[in-house]
């Protein structure tokens, strides 16, 4: 039975920050700053490495599509778009169940299992592209036989199924360890692993491009094989390095575990998640509005394809995908630091979305000027990555307890996956090189995200006002803005 916490442990000030004036925390001899640094070192590096691997495995097909994969597999029409799209079907459907299972089986077990799963699928994708699952003594063996479009679809489907727990599970875990006023910088460090993966993926692909024909394999096969091997190694390491929730963290002392739980508002994981909890979550309009991260996927998948239309070679294309992601990385880190200091989210969401719209407007209206169009690509990356992580952190850290955060992180990432489905049919080869349809859809998605963010902010203000008028802020969490 969990200890009864004094009311002060969950009281919030007018901004919704944690009030750490409780006697339990004041009397503690623990150095809070040193403890937070200890948590940072144990939690963030391995989660970031995991997501670099997951993101590379997910989007490396976009690099492969600039090589000989379409020709080798005889892809025609919109088959390449279908191959991209099918990943998101299981990825979306199993987000919420995955977080429920992670809570039940512990993060280090669940996340490492997911990583091993999609690492094996990547090897199948590289060596053969057609897989059959054969039951043998309650295990499944992946038999790699021949190359085909149907095999590509199969491996993409299983890749989505195995990756479904990584992104929402990591955000869920991070949200349990930190206070709201320090959360965005931690979310951004993790989020930046996506940006690093986007940049590193281009560099890696440009190097692997030169391996074409080695051991009788195409260069795009080497992308899948090498990244698959790396992913499997990370999966084995993750079992020992990923930390669990604070109550189960054996690398903390008993006093430190209690301190961590108290400083984040007494969040403990003893409550199970039921189907009724999921239904109740979606009865709140504020929770529904949280799923507004749609636009980011479009750009991540199609940056190499867009740059390739400028007439560069495969290697030059991969290298030129790096600066937009690097620019996004820099702005994300700066915005996260300032936002946490000010304890405001909406100005940075607004700034990021406006920046992305400006970049898309440049891409739609200016042609035959690489410098201007490349600047537009950089602006889109900077704006979408900054707005995306700020929206996600704003929404997740306003949720209360394990149940809401487990469901909420999965819902938000899953809804973003819907954007991935839309994106795969937005940037069609028939629209190259101008991609007016794709850019227009991106602008529309950003406008929807902006409208949802504004409405969410209005509802948050109303929520806080209602709590203050009813003197309920001592028992409930005020929403941040």
Residue of higher predicted confidence among 50 and 208: 50
Measured between its terminal Cα atoms, the distance across the chain in Å is: 34
Q: b or e along 289-307 (b: 16 or more beta carbons within 10 Å of the residue's beta carbon)?
A: bbbbbbbbbbbbbbbbbbb
Angle, alpha carbons 147-148-150 (nearest 5°): 135
The CA distance from 152 to 7, in Å, is 55
Query: How far from chain centre, in Å, is Cα 299?
Result: 14
Q: Per-residue confidence at 474, pLDDT binned at 50, 70, 90?
A: low
Q: Tell me, what's the pLDDT at 394?
A: 92
pLDDT digits (tens, 9 = 90+) for 225-245: 888 888 899 999 999 999 999
pLDDT at 129 over 50: no
The mean pLDDT of 191-199, rounded to a whole number, is 76
Tally of CB atoms within 10 A around 253: 11
- Contacts of residue 172, defined as CB under 8 A and 6 or more positions apart, other chains included, come to 99, 102, 396, 405, 406, 409, 410
Q: Tell me, what's the pLDDT at 66?
A: 76
Q: What is the CATH number of domain 31-469?
A: 1.20.1250.20
How are beta strands 131-136 and 139-144 bridged, if at all? antiparallel
The mean pLDDT of 458-477, rounded to a whole number, is 76
Longest dimension (CA), the chain: 72
How distant, in Å, are the alpha carbons of 46, 51, 215, 376, 383 from that of 327? 24, 19, 37, 12, 10
Three-class secondary structure of residue 30 per DSSP: coil
> How long, in residues, is the chain?
481
pLDDT at 215 over 80: no
pLDDT digits (tens, 9 = 90+) for 439-459: 888 888 888 889 989 999 999
pLDDT at 62 over 80: no
Q: Tell me, what's the pLDDT at 203?
A: 73
pLDDT digits (tens, 9 = 90+) for 246-274: 988 889 988 888 888 888 876 666 677 88
């Amino acid at each position: 039975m969990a200890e009864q916490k004094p009311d002060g442990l969950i009281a919030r000030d007018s901004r919704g920050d944690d009030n750490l004036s409780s006697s339990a925390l004041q009397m503690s001899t623990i150095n809070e700053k040193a403890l937070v640094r200890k948590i940072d070192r144990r939690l963030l590096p391995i989660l970031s490495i995991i997501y670099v691997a997951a993101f590379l495995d997910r989007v490396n097909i976009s690099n492969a599509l600039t090589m000989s994969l379409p020709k080798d597999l005889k892809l025609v029409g919109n088959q390449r778009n279908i191959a991209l799209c099918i990943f998101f079907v299981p990825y979306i459907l199993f987000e919420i169940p995955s977080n429920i299972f992670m809570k039940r089986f512990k993060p280090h077990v669940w996340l490492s299992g997911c990583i091993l799963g999609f690492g094996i699928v990547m090897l199948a994708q590289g060596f053969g592209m057609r897989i059959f699952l054969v039951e043998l003594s309650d295990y499944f063996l992946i038999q790699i036989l021949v190359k085909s479009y149907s095999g590509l679809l199969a491996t993409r489907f299983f890749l989505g199924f195995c990756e479904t727990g990584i992104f929402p599970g990591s955000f869920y875990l991070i949200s349990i360890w930190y206070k709201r006023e320090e959360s965005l910088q931690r979310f951004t460090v993790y989020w930046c692993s996506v940006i690093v993966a986007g940049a590193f993926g281009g560099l890696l692909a440009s190097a692997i491009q030169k391996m074409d024909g080695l051991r009788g394999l195409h260069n795009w096969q080497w992308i899948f094989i090498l990244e698959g091997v790396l992913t499997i190694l990370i999966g084995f390491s993750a079992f020992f390095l990923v930390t669990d929730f604070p109550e189960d963290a054996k690398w903390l002392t008993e006093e430190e575990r209690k301190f961590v739980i108290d400083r984040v508002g007494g969040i403990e994981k003893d409550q199970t998640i039921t189907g009724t909890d999921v239904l109740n979550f979606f009865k709140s309009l504020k929770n529904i509005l949280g799923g507004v991260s749609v636009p980011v996927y479009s750009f991540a998948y199609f940056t190499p394809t867009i740059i390739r239309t400028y007439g560069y070679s495969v290697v030059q294309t991969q290298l030129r995908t790096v600066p937009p992601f690097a620019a996004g990385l820099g702005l994300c880190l700066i915005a996260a630091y300032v936002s946490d200091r000010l304890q405001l989210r909406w100005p940075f969401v607004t700034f990021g979305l406006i920046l992305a719209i400006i970049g898309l407007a440049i891409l739609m209206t200016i042609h035959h000027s690489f410098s201007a169009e490349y600047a537009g690509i950089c602006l889109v990356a900077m704006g979408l990555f900054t707005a995306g992580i700020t929206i996600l952190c704003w929404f997740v850290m306003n949720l209360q307890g394990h149940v809401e955060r487990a469901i909420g992180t999965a819902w938000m990432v899953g809804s973003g996956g819907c954007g991935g489905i839309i994106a795969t049919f937005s940037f069609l080869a028939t629209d190259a090189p101008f991609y007016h349809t794709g850019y227009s859809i991106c602008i529309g998605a950003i406008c929807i995200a902006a409208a949802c963010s504004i409405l969410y902010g209005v509802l948050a203000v109303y929520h806080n006002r209602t709590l203050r008028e009813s003197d309920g802020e001592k028992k409930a969490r005020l929403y941040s803005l």
